[in-house]
């Protein structure tokens, strides 16, 4: 619908138009220059082209603690997703795992469920779970709490942006799981508040993003603080040469499980829209009032710009929330909760929200301002077109 409405007009004149031309001059994206704007114009591969997966196991048949199994089944988990189907038995057997899977495929449950069973059967077991962002670490902790109900198994979530002394107090209480980001975990170790010599199991979730964010030395520090041999579960969306080197460094004879269904670019319809700066807010308004734009994630570059845009949208009658680095933990969690639960239609965010967030059913991603790099662009649009569904992304270009 929006293609027809905004394809008319002069480039890049008073209104806007969506680009169809593959031969486009260079445009600056943040500090970088991209010579091929056609990278941002792609048709999604139809979901129907992906062959259906045949499930081998069921949660009812997994050899796990009965109380844990009741929690899993009561949470609506009956048939495993592919990553769960192919991973859980190997984790239960104590094998190292390399899991290559898209975000949103159910990989958190793929390691949480068998590791909870491991702790139920041996209360001396301790598990470290490392994630690239505090939002992802919090989501993992919430998933663990759901499955651990009534098992008397406790976790401590250690992330930046929250009071460290509260986390230090939590570490003094009984717990078998520590879930956190590399920087905060390292800080707690250096303060003498966390000792990893008794943690024989580690999960490195979204390891490719930790690598992108410069956490490789922190990851090495954490792994060197743990016993050897250990049980290591490694999850990534990509298998680059750098990732392969880390795997050879950290894991021992791992089982390789790959259920990656394709790159982000193949699951998201992508277009660019030429629009003058002074017309951007009106164009955005006219898009957002269309029925298909029912759950929209909008990206800006700066904290101030994101906050200002969200307030402008609220003034225009939209239900909009914002998330950026100036918001404290509680404010960010409230904004995410409002958006996830469909109490707000729009979430305006800086790139802090592009990594590690599991937000279901985002209909559109709009790059209101250009990302700094193509990699940032891929992370942004990866918030839609998830879990086998097609998504749509628009990039505004002046």
What's the mean pLDDT in 371-376?
78
Domains of the chain: 2-48+263-397 (3.40.50.300), 66-258 (3.40.50.300)
Burial of 196 by CB count in 10 Å (0-12 exposed, 13-18 middle, 19+ buried)?
Answer: buried
Q: Which is more confidently placed, 327 or 288?
A: 288
| pLDDT exceeds cutoff 80 at 262 | no
H/E stretch holding 97 reads strand 97-100
The pLDDT of residue 64 = 96
Indicate the SS3 state at residue 17. strand
Phi and psi based region of residue 248 (left: phi greater than 0; alpha: psi -120 to 50; beta: remaining): alpha
First vs last Cα of the chain: how many Å apart?
A: 22
Percent of the chain with pLDDT over 70: 83
Rounded Cα distance between 204 and 219, Å, is 9
The pLDDT of residue 103 = 67
Q: Which of 69-83, 156-170, 236-250 has the lowest mean pLDDT?
A: 236-250
Residue 273 has φ and ψ, to the nearest 5°, of -125, 120
What does the block give as tokens for 169? 């107090």
Percent of the chain with pLDDT over 90: 59
Cα 273 vs. chain centroid, distance in angstroms? 26
The pLDDT of residue 266 = 64
Rounded Cα distance between 88 and 107, Å, is 10
Contact status, residue 153 vs residue 119, Cβ threshold 8 Å: yes
Apex 172 CA angle, 167 and 174, nearest 5? 105
Give tens-digit pLDDT for 46-93. 544 456 778 899 999 899 999 999 999 999 998 999 999 999 999 999
What's the mean pLDDT in 244-252?
92
Rounded Cα distance between 379 and 382, Å, is 5
The pLDDT of residue 398 = 81
The pLDDT of residue 246 = 92
39: confidence class by pLDDT, cuts 50, 70, 90 = low
Rounded Cα distance between 7 and 17, Å, is 4
Q: Which residues pair with 296 in a beta bridge?
A: 346, 364
The pLDDT of residue 129 = 98
What's the mean pLDDT in 115-120?
98
What's the mean pLDDT in 266-293?
91
The pLDDT of residue 31 = 42
Indicate the SS3 state at residue 321. strand
Rounded Cα distance between 280 and 155, Å, is 45
The pLDDT of residue 387 = 63
Give tens-digit pLDDT for 339-364. 999 999 999 999 876 566 678 889 99
Rounded Cα distance between 39 and 395, Å, is 11
209: confidence class by pLDDT, cuts 50, 70, 90 = confident
Contact status, residue 96 vs residue 112, Cβ threshold 8 Å: no
Tokens 């509260």 sit at which residue?
A: 166
pTM of the predicted structure, to 2 decimals? 0.70
379: confidence class by pLDDT, cuts 50, 70, 90 = confident
Q: How confident is the prediction for the chain on average, in pLDDT?
A: 85
What's the mean pLDDT in 241-265?
83
């Amino acid at each position: 619908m929006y293609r027809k409405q905004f394809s008319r007009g002069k480039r890049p004149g008073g209104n806007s138009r969506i680009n169809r031309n593959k031969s486009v001059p260079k445009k600056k994206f943040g500090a970088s220059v991209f010579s091929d704007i056609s990278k941002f114009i792609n048709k999604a591969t139809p979901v129907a082209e992906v062959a259906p997966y045949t499930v081998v196991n069921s949660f009812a048949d997994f050899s796990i603690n009965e109380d844990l199994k009741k929690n899993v089944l009561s949470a609506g988990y009956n048939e495993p997703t592919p990553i769960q189907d192919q991973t859980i038995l190997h984790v239960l057997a104590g094998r190292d795992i390399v899991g290559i899977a898209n975000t949103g495929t159910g990989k958190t449950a793929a390691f949480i469920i068998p590791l909870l069973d491991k702790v139920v059967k041996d209360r001396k077991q301790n598990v470290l779970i490392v994630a690239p962002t505090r939002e992802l670490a919090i989501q993992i902790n919430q998933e663990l709490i759901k499955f651990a109900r009534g098992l008397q198994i406790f976790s401590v979530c250690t992330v930046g942006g929250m009071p460290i002394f509260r986390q230090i107090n939590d570490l003094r209480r009984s717990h078998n799981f520590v879930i956190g980001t590399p920087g905060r975990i390292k800080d707690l170790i250096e303060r003498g508040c966390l000792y990893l010599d008794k943690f024989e199991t580690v999960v490195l979730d979204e390891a490719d993003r930790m690598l992108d964010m410069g956490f490789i030395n922190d990851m090495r520090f954490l792994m060197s603080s743990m016993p050897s041999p250990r049980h290591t579960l490694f999850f990534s969306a990509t298998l680059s040469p750098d990732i392969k080197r880390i795997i050879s460094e950290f894991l021992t004879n791992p089982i390789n499980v790959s259920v990656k269904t394709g790159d982000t670019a193949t699951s998201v319809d992508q277009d660019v829209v030429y629009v003058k700066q002074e017309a951007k807010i009106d164009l955005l308004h006219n898009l957002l009032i269309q029925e298909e734009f029912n759950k929209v994630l909008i990206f800006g570059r700066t904290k101030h710009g994101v906050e200002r845009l969200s307030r402008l949208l609220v003034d225009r009658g939209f239900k909009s929330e914002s998330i950026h680095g100036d918001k404290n933990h509680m404010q960010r969690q409230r904004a995410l909760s409002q958006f996830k639960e469909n109490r707000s239609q729009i979430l305006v965010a800086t790139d802090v929200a592009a990594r590690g967030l599991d937000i279901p059913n985002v209909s559109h991603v709009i790059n209101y301002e250009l990302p700094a790099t193509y990699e940032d662009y891929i992370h942004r649009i990866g918030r839609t077109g998830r879990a086998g569904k097609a998504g749509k992304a628009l990039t505004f270009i002046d």
